Amino acid sequence: MSVVHVVGSLNADQLLELTAYPAAGETVLASDVRLSAGGKGGNQAVAAARAGAEVVMVGAVGDDAHGRLVRAELDGAGVDTRPVRTVEGTPTGTAIVLLDRAGENRIVVAPGANSRLTAADVELGLRDLGEGDVLLLQLEIPPEVVVHAARLGKRRGALVVLNAAPAPERADCLGADLDHLVVNRGEMDAVAQLLGLIDELPTGEPARAETGRDALPALVAQVAGSLSCTVVCTAGADGAYVCGDGDGEAVTHVPAVAVTATDTTAAGDTFTGYLAADLAAGRRRPASALARASAAAALTVTRPGAMDSIPHADELPTAFGP
């Protein structure tokens, strides 16, 4: 089986449960607070490992209690953390997660040691990356490091997967080295804007999911054609769409698994990690792997937390695993 190599962020997540988000100048009381390991890179590495893949993590943490917490969680999940660098004098990345009663979240991230990850770290950490392996990237680390890693992965013959989250602000992250792009609906808009496929939002306004259900498949096909790679777009309760997996310009829709969400934190990371694991296992047509990834993400949103909420493959309904 091929190995999943993850180059990405490692954070300590501080989750606050609220009855409602505060307005400007307002103070609200949280009903609960939890500290756990997280970060898109770390979450996706754990998800891929729990899906059954062999996983190597390349990232950076601070020399602090949060860094030790994150490293211990990854080690406990079976992720190889030897390429994770400890940065002296810099705190581990921190994410403040605000969770409302509907299970929806708002997240603020302080990058900390993630911003200190370098091309040299990538070169060293990916020394064993080989042909047929999967390289999984996100955008919570410096974009130039993402571009360098993708170029290295392509040169080594790896399958390069970018989860363009947070929404990209630079087009060079969407270069010719990508084999698979994974986005949610809001991130899809940001990508399409960078590619000139839809109108840009006013300066300073965040990306939003403007594409309606009827328009989304066509946009997925346009982005896949523009980037010449497979595009997977998750759409919450509407499931996921994939284009570019060998079916020409056809867009395949995979329905979501119906659940009652209590916490959406790490749902997208679970989906992406499971997808990467299936690609490493030889399931090279993403449409055949999306159902299992969707089932894993659905189980994640029924549980609180980030890494703690990510299921093992044997927890999935029989129809989707292992």
Positions marked active-site = 269
The reply, when asked if residue 239 is annotated as ligand binding, is: yes
Answer yes or no: is 179 a known binding residue.
Answer: no
Q: Please, are residues 42 and 58 in contact by the beta-carbon 8 Å criterion?
A: no
The secondary structure of residue 46, as a DSSP letter, is H
Helix (H, G, I), strand (E, B) or coil at 31: coil
The verdict on whether residue 39 carries a ligand-binding annotation is: yes
First to last CA, the chain: 15
CB-CB contact of 54 with 3 (8 Å): yes
Q: Is 132 annotated for ligand binding?
A: no
- Tell me if 13 is assigned to a ligand binding site: yes
74/57 Cα distance (integer angstroms) = 9
268 is in an annotated binding site: yes
Contact 86, 63 (CB under 8 A): yes
Per the CB < 8 A criterion, the answer to whether 211 and 199 are in contact is no
Give the up-direction half-sphere exposure of residue 230: CA atoms within 13 A in the CB hemisphere.
19
Rounded Cα distance, 221 and 251, in Å: 7
293 in a labelled binding site:
no
Distance CA 226, CA 147 (A): 18
Instruction: Confirm whether residue 265 is marked as ligand binding.
Output: yes
Is 72 annotated as ligand-binding? Answer: no
Annotation-wise, does 237 bind a ligand?
yes
Query: Does 234 carry a binding-site annotation?
Result: yes
Contact 234, 257 (CB under 8 A): no
The tokens 């790679």 sit on which residue? Answer: 229
302 labeled binding residue: no
The annotation status of 140 as a binding-site residue, yes or no, is yes
Residue 42 annotated as part of some ligand binding site? yes
316 in Cβ contact with 270 (< 8 Å): no
Binding residues for K(+): 263, 265, 300, 303, 305, 309
Binding residues: 11-13, 39-43, 140, 184, 234-239, 263, 265, 268-269, 300, 303, 305, 309
Binding residues for substrate: 11-13, 39-43, 140, 269
Binding residues for ATP: 184, 234-239, 268-269
